Amino acid sequence: MSDEYLKNPRVKIEPDTFVKSAFAPELMETVRRFHASIPEYRVTPLHSLENLAARLEIASLWVKDETNRFGLNAFKGLGVAYAMNRFLENHPAKSSGSVPIWVTATDGNHGHALAWAALCLGHHAVIFGPKTMPEKRIQRMQSLGARVSVLPGNYDEAVLHARRAARQNGWNLLQDTAVHDREQIPLWIMQGYTTLLTETLEQLRGKLPTHVFVQCGVGSLAASMTAGLACRFAGQKPRVFIVEARAAACCFKSMKKNDGKIHAVRGALDTVMSGLACGQPSRLAWPILEDLAHGFFRCDDSTALLGQRGYRNPLKGNPTLQAGESGAVTLGLLMNLSAGKSPDRNSLLNRSSRVLLLLTEGPTRDLCDRKKTP
């Protein structure tokens, strides 16, 4: 099968009043100032892959490289650190007395960030993951002192389990997806991700992409980027394309049904893109994507592997980048589009397109693990 595209027939230019206040440029500056106060904070690189852009017959190709954010493997620390800080500001009693315990469900990267942030503060982290969670990720979280339990179900079931555990034990739930409307913590997490956008816009020095391709699991990252761009640029906003794993393409499915409701994908959610193996969109993210994203892609595992090879074997003059599957899928998609494998290529991209990709994670497997993958 090849990647599939769905245009959003109802895409709007103007964000609604909630989005306008939640992702206002001043708020993004405040978030960035908070991150800059963290000792491990560094601006992550923005690579310009000029030779690959020429090969793909587009004007520019930029890659925001999140493979070493805060010394972790992925961008997720931005959301966790900001949300944890806001939570503690709002609930001071929870940071005094006995050592706070944070709990979450994860497919790996969010839990890794939570384990790191809890360790930095001398707190405890309890993490639940689906049975598909790669072993390397479990070990990484455990090495930061987190208690990790692997559950028999998929990611969405782990999310419900973590919520129950938080309620029953009085632990602080720090989840990056909203099960109900207007949940505060997932919103803080989405706001935390905006530093990635703030940095990128500074690094681009006024040059604006025409297209942004963003990976989507529950949609918090994609909604954060989409909302941040819409609040800053309104009608001049780059077109944002949402990219999901075919086995877990819940936003694609919801857009396809086009009835204003969320439609989950159930079952094993079996994909090499374990960061995107989420069958239920966040209730905070979906309305933003439904209003403001230009289109939705669902991609095969082979697309992610193609993207990994593309990053690993660059054209002369471009940097070599090591990417995890979820991080690499957007490059694979772009390569497939440009190779003419999709009839949508000509309606979407041309020689003046300036494309921004987010390389959201570094390698997910050790070399010895990799031998096991087909």
Ligand X SMILES: Cc1ncc(COP(=O)(O)O)c(C=O)c1O
CA max distance for the chain: 61
Question: In the complex with ligand X, which residue's Cβ is closer, 311 or 345?
Answer: 311
Beta-strand ranges (E) seen in the chain are 4-7, 46-48, 60-65, 101-105, 124-129, 147-150, 172-173, 211-215, 239-245, 295-299, 354-359
Question: In the complex with ligand X, which residue's Cβ is closer, 330 or 342?
Answer: 330
Candidate list 217, 228, 287, 295; residue touching ligand X; CB under 6 A? 217
**Is 130 near ligand X (CB under 6 A)?**
no
**Is 289 near ligand X (CB under 6 A)?**
no
Question: In the complex with ligand X, which residue's Cβ is closer, 23 or 100?
Answer: 23
**Is 326 near ligand X (CB under 6 A)?**
yes
- Say how far apart CA 173 and CA 166 lie, in whole Å: 6
Strand partners, 243: 215, 297
Candidate list 77, 134, 219, 238; residue touching ligand X; CB under 6 A? 219
Instruction: Select from 12-20, 133-141, 214-222, 252-260 the region that touches ligand X (CB under 6 A).
Output: 214-222
| Alpha-carbon distances, residue 157 vs 132, 150, 248, 300, 301 (angstroms) | 12, 11, 14, 23, 23
**Is 361 near ligand X (CB under 6 A)?**
yes
Candidate list 138, 141, 216, 305; residue touching ligand X; CB under 6 A? 216
Instruction: Select from 45-53, 86-94, 112-120, 324-332 the region that touches ligand X (CB under 6 A).
Output: 324-332
Q: Under a CB-based contact definition with an 8 Å cutoff, are residues 328 and 310 in contact?
A: yes
Candidate list 172, 175, 215, 254; residue touching ligand X; CB under 6 A? 215
Candidate list 44, 191, 220, 226; residue touching ligand X; CB under 6 A? 220
| Alpha-carbon distances, residue 282 vs 6, 85, 124, 341 (angstroms) | 20, 21, 26, 31
- Say how far apart CA 214 and CA 208 lie, in whole Å: 16
Residue 107 appears among annotated catalytic residues = yes
- Say how far apart CA 269 and CA 280 lie, in whole Å: 11
Catalytic residue among 65, 107, 156, 300: 107
Q: Under a CB-based contact definition with an 8 Å cutoff, are residues 128 and 162 in contact?
A: yes
* DSSP assignment letter at 206: T
Residue 136 appears among annotated catalytic residues = no
Instruction: Select from 51-59, 275-283, 291-299, 308-316 the region that touches ligand X (CB under 6 A).
Output: 275-283
- Say how far apart CA 307 and CA 161 lie, in whole Å: 33
- Say how far apart CA 299 and CA 251 lie, in whole Å: 13
Q: Under a CB-based contact definition with an 8 Å cutoff, are residues 340 and 330 in contact?
A: no
**Is 72 near ligand X (CB under 6 A)?**
no
Candidate list 295, 327, 332, 363; residue touching ligand X; CB under 6 A? 327
Candidate list 72, 221, 255, 357; residue touching ligand X; CB under 6 A? 221
For the CB of residue 197, give the shortest distance to ligand X in the complex, in Å. Answer: 14
List of residues 6+ apart from 152 with CB closer than 8 A: 131
**Is 222 near ligand X (CB under 6 A)?**
yes
Question: In the complex with ligand X, which residue's Cβ is closer, 113 or 118?
Answer: 113
Question: In the complex with ligand X, which residue's Cβ is closer, 146 or 276?
Answer: 276
Q: Which residues are the active-site residues?
A: 76, 107
The residues of the shown chain that bind ligand X, judged by CB under 6 A, are 74, 107, 109-110, 176, 215-222, 275-276, 278, 324, 326-327, 360-361
